[in-house]
A and B are shown apart, each in its own frame.
Chain A
């Protein structure tokens, strides 16, 4: 031990500086590697054509297809705060607040835009979940829910900047027709859990398109495009490279995988 006290303190302070700099450096690396870089892994994504989806019949059909398939309860209008929704519409200026300036085109004002969970690359809901009831699937990038594990703390709802999550304030079965779920092969939820869009994980497993995409495209072909955004051969990859699209709240850095074509 030849080191003097002074040398030891010098080395210790350099080491602690290095440790403190680590998160900053790794964040920089993440920012450079960035959102949208092609990789081998699957990342499901969706394009919503805002013009083609500006159609109440289409939006209603997409929502009905989704909510019927997943037994999402139709909460009565007088309980608006308890509403449960996986896919719905919002006014343009609320979907893209950073795009809504004072001289925005009149046709965009109040235009109804279809919204759903963005299945983000870096989902804030997953970060805050204390039980890992919600997590990002490594196999295909879906932000999944495990209803068995959800304790209903609603941290994820506070963390999600898109309001994509709904809480079951009461037993959802009481809002279903004659207490009979529409799809007996899909579970309902119980009181006290949070639910949201799963990108139709069960349909994807069978090689089918999500219910909303199927319903929307049956009304207006090309209204929605769904696929693996990491696969250069996929329709959605080509669509995204050839068209200008927006994502919601890009500046927040969550990396949404639902894209909007204006």
Chain B
């Protein structure tokens, strides 16, 4: 049993290597995203939107495209058109994809395919402008 030391050393190296992805981030210094929030109020509370915007958009697309619903009634009773580009990304709200959407999505390493089709206002010329 003279190889005890080597076996334990190998086991430690193995455990460290395998669990690295779980604790490796503790030492990494990735700054929290500095998201530019527009003035004014979103259709729901900030906390709700941070946690649930993806679910809301997912529900919206089925409601609008498949069920023909056009109006979302927010929890405070206000009505909003169900539209990513005409409501969320309208001028004065989240009209800057690079500074708003991308900041967090890059930080969280998620890559939603919304803008494969939907047109972000800060990435293209206005209507008829090309």
> Residues of A with Cβ closer than 8 Å to B?
135, 137, 139, 144, 146-148, 176-190, 205
Residue B29 lies at the interface, judged by CB distance under 8 Å to chain A:
no
Pick from A146, A177, A184: contact of B126, CB below 8 A.
A184
Interface centre among B113, B117, B127 (most CB of A within 10 A): B117
Residue B5 lies at the interface, judged by CB distance under 8 Å to chain A:
no
Pick from A177, A179, A185, A189: contact of B85, CB below 8 A.
A185
Can you list 25 residue pairs at the A/B interface with Cβ under 8 Å? A135-B66, A148-B65, A176-B130, A178-B125, A178-B130, A180-B124, A180-B125, A180-B129, A180-B130, A181-B124, A181-B130, A182-B127, A183-B127, A184-B85, A184-B121, A184-B124, A184-B126, A184-B127, A185-B85, A185-B86, A187-B118, A187-B119, A189-B117, A190-B116, A205-B70
On chain B, the residues within 8 Å of A185 by CB distance are: 85-86, 119, 127
Give Cα A184–Cα B85 distance, bound, in whole angstroms.
Answer: 8
On chain B, the residues within 8 Å of A177 by CB distance are: 130
**CB under 8 Å from chain A, chain B span 37-95:** 61, 65-66, 68, 70, 85-86
Task: Give the A-B pair count, Cβ closer than 8 A.
Answer: 48
On chain B, the residues within 8 Å of A188 by CB distance are: 117, 119
In the complex, how many angstroms separate the beta carbon of A46 from the nearest chain B beta carbon?
21
CB atoms of B68 and A184 under 8 A apart: no
On chain A, the residues within 8 Å of B66 by CB distance are: 135, 146
Q: Interface 1/0s, chain B 98-125, versus A by CB < 8 A?
A: 0000000000000001001111010011
On chain B, the residues within 8 Å of A147 by CB distance are: 117
In the complex, how many angstroms separate the beta carbon of A235 from the nearest chain B beta carbon?
24
Give Cα A76–Cα B63 distance, bound, in whole angstroms.
Answer: 36
